Amino acid sequence: MSYKNFPMVSKVVFGRGSFNQLNEILAPKRLSMNAPFIYLIDDVFKNNQWLTSRIPLAYDDKIVFISTKEEPKTSQVDELVEGIILTTKELPSGIIGIGGGSVLDLAKAVSIMLTNEGEAKDYQGWDLVKNAAVYHVGIPTISGTGAEVSRTTVLLGPDKKLGINSDFTPFDQVILDSELTKGVPTDQWFYTGMDCYIHCIESLKGTYLNTFSETYGTMALELCKEIFLDNNLTAIESEEKLMMASWHGGMSIAYSQVGVAHAMSYPLAYLLGIKHGVGNCIVFDHLEEFYPEGVKLFKTMKKKHNITIPQGICADLSDEDFDKMINIALNLVPLWENALGKNWKQIITPKKLKELYQKM
């Protein structure tokens, strides 16, 4: 048996207001006056002086605002990289992503593609990246995906939604300042928070479970229960705890895998453009059979926060559409194997998947 040897995020700052330390963190990393820092920032912050006035721009540093209406695409990464190469005198000193999973993933992918030939789609998969990425920093503004800590950057490519999984993907530096998450709308807070909850359930109930994953997953799950079920937390406590739940949930799946909800929600993103957090919720709501206790608790949390999950999203799909989604889902072999064991194909047939999708 050969065990995986994973890199982790090299440096992390945690604390309310730690975003103010950005300049002191970045300054030693500036390679030259001609090598700028490029900030990729969720465009929800475009007119947000509270955040943007604290970005320490100097020399040729630049802010690029990113729309997160759609999930990140390989073509979007290629365009951003081309834009950076054409407008900078030297390779950037660093790429800084400020936003949710979408922007964090874009920052990781752009930093990789600045030093690797070809197109981003060529690197979707495991360990295809050859050269170390440009220094990259992740600053989450919404918590749950674990993208700040993971070894992957999930992208929609021309023919699949798949991560660039590599030793060069994790951030060199992460800044966890929970104050940045204070403006997240309730529905989105729930959907992205549930991504974390579902990571925990899928990891803890999976056949790949080991003590490394279990300890992180258990911790994250306890935090999720406090955040989404207790009435005693202040807003600040809740924001800080969700930030750490996201981190631990991400660490839990690093050494195991996700499961049925992720395998079924990836095709919803690919074919219907349904975003990850809400997509996972749509699917998980119907997975009692696989995760009875996890789904029961999910429904309790949903009710407590008065969250509506979109219904009938598969109502108008053709047989061809169903076949496409089923094919994409069934190709995610490690996810099924983790969820259901080596004989997963006997449990999850195309017919079974179609029946499940038809409920959504």
Question: Footprint of Zn ion on this chain (CB under 5 A)?
Answer: 195
Minimum separation from the CB atom of position 71 to ligand NAD (A): 4
CB nearer ligand NAD, residue 103 or residue 328: 103
CB nearer ligand NAD, residue 35 or residue 274: 274
Separation CA 52–CA 63 (nearest Å): 9
Residue among 145, 166, 173, 238 that touches ligand NAD (CB under 6 A):
145
Q: Are residues 112 and 127 in contact, defined by beta-carbon separation less than 8 angstroms?
A: no
Separation CA 104–CA 262 (nearest Å): 19
217 binds, among Zn ion, ligand NAD, none (CB under 5 to 8 A by kind): none
Minimum separation from the CB atom of position 300 to ligand NAD (A): 21
101 binds, among Zn ion, ligand NAD, none (CB under 5 to 8 A by kind): ligand NAD
- 196 interacts with ligand NAD by CB under 6 A: no
- 279 interacts with ligand NAD by CB under 6 A: no
CB nearer Zn ion, residue 94 or residue 277: 277
Minimum separation from the CB atom of position 164 to ligand NAD (A): 9
Integer CA distances (angstroms), 118 to 32, 74, 84, 133, in order = 26, 11, 15, 14
Separation CA 281–CA 182 (nearest Å): 22
Separation CA 357–CA 346 (nearest Å): 18
How many other C-beta atoms can be found within 10 angstroms of the C-beta atom of residue 14? 14
* The CA-based dihedral angle spanning residues 64, 65, 69, 72, taken in that order and rounded to the nearest 10 degrees: 20
Residue among 18, 76, 93, 152 that touches ligand NAD (CB under 6 A):
152
- 42 interacts with ligand NAD by CB under 6 A: yes
Minimum separation from the CB atom of position 334 to ligand NAD (A): 14
- 120 interacts with ligand NAD by CB under 6 A: no
The pair of three-digit structure tokens given for residue 100, joined into one six-digit string: 């949710």
Separation CA 262–CA 274 (nearest Å): 12
How many other C-beta atoms can be found within 10 angstroms of the C-beta atom of residue 186? 10
Nearest-CA neighbor of 40 among 25, 23, 55, 59? Answer: 55
105 binds, among Zn ion, ligand NAD, none (CB under 5 to 8 A by kind): ligand NAD
Q: What are phi and psi of 297, to 5 degrees?
A: -65, -40
CB nearer ligand NAD, residue 35 or residue 40: 40
CB nearer ligand NAD, residue 36 or residue 101: 101
Encoded amino acid at 40, one letter: L
Q: Pick the piece of the chain touching ligand NAD (CB under 6 A) from 9-17, 274-282, 316-324, 330-338.
A: 274-282
Minimum separation from the CB atom of position 208 to ligand NAD (A): 16
Q: Are residues 286 and 298 in contact, defined by beta-carbon separation less than 8 angstroms?
A: no
Nearest-CA neighbor of 279 among 314, 241, 322, 326? Answer: 314
CB nearer Zn ion, residue 121 or residue 161: 161
- 277 interacts with ligand NAD by CB under 6 A: yes
Binding site for ligand NAD (CB under 6 A): 42, 44, 68, 71-72, 99-103, 105, 141-142, 144-147, 150, 152-154, 180-181, 183-184, 188, 192, 195, 275-277
